[in-house]
Amino acid sequence: MAGIPGGKTLAVIVAAVVLTIYGWLNSERETQVTQPASMGVTSSPIPEFTYTNQEGKRFGSEELRGSVWVANVIYTRCPTIASPMTANMARLQEKLRKAHLDAELVSFSADPLFDRPHVLKTFADRLRVEFSNWNFLTHNDEPELHRFLKTAFTAPVERQTSPADDGPPQIRHSSRFYLVGKDGRVMGAYNGLSPNYDQLLQDIRSLE
C-alpha cells in the first residue's frame, strides 16, 4: 500500500507531460483553409519593408507588390528546424513549377548580423535552392527585423543567447509557412515541418 501515493504522483506527472506535448503539437498544427474567406485574414497589410537578399541587392515590399508569396523564418546556424524547413520550401517551389502557379518565396533570417548575403547564399546553395522566385533576406538591424517579423506574421522570434556569446546562437523562431495575398495581407499559416502541400497549392491558386 505504501507504493500507491508514488504511483499516483507518477501518473500525474505522465499526464502533465502528455498534455504539454499535445498542446505543443496542436499549436504547430497548420491552419486548415479551403477558400480565401476562411483563411483568417489579418486586419491590415503587413508593414512596408526593404531588406537585403542573398545577392546583396535590396528586396522588399516593392518587389512583391501584386504577388502572392510564401514566407518563413530561418537562420543558417539553426541546429534543428531551419534546414528541414528550407528543404520543404524547395519542395513547394518544385510543386509550384509543376502546377504552373506563380508565387514568390521569401525566407527571413532571424540571425541577420551573422547571416550576411554571402552566408545566406552559401546556405541556400548547399540545399540546392533555385533563386528565380526565392529570396533570402537579411538586415543590419536585428531588433528592427525581429519587430517586423512579430508585427507582420505574429511570428515568435527571440534571441535567447547574446550575439557576443561563443558558439551557435539559440534563437526561438516560428516553424510555419505564411501565405501572403496580393494585397499584402497574411492569408494563412501552415506547418513548415510537415506541410500539407495540396492544401497550400489550392490556397495559392485561389489567390491568383
pLDDT digits (tens, 9 = 90+) for 161-179: 765 566 778 899 999 999 9
Amino acid at 80: T
Q: Which residues are annotated as a binding site?
A: 78, 173
pLDDT in tens, 12-66: 444 443 343 333 333 333 333 333 333 555 668 999 999 999 999 999 999 999 9
Report which of 115, 80, 43 is spatially closest to residue 192, judged by C-alpha positions: 80
Asked whether residue 160 carries a pLDDT value surpassing 90, the answer given is no
Same domain, 86 and 71: yes
Q: Which structural domain, as residue segments, surrounds residue 18?
A: 1-30
Based on the domain organization, do 55 and 9 belong to the same domain? no
Q: Is 163 exposed, middle or buried (0-12, 13-18, 19+ CB in 10 A)?
A: exposed
CATH number of the domain to which 46 belongs: 3.40.30.10
Residues 91 and 3 occupy one common structural domain: no
Same structural domain, 11 and 112:
no
pTM of the predicted structure, to 2 decimals: 0.79
Residues 52 and 2 in one domain: no
Q: Are residues 54 and 128 in the same domain?
A: yes
Place of cell 508565387: 103
d(CA 118, CA 100): 30
- Please give the annotated binding residues for Cu cation, written as ranges: 78, 173
Instruction: Count how many domains the chain has.
Output: 2
Residues 25 and 53 in one domain: no
Q: How far is CA 188 from the centre of its chain?
A: 12
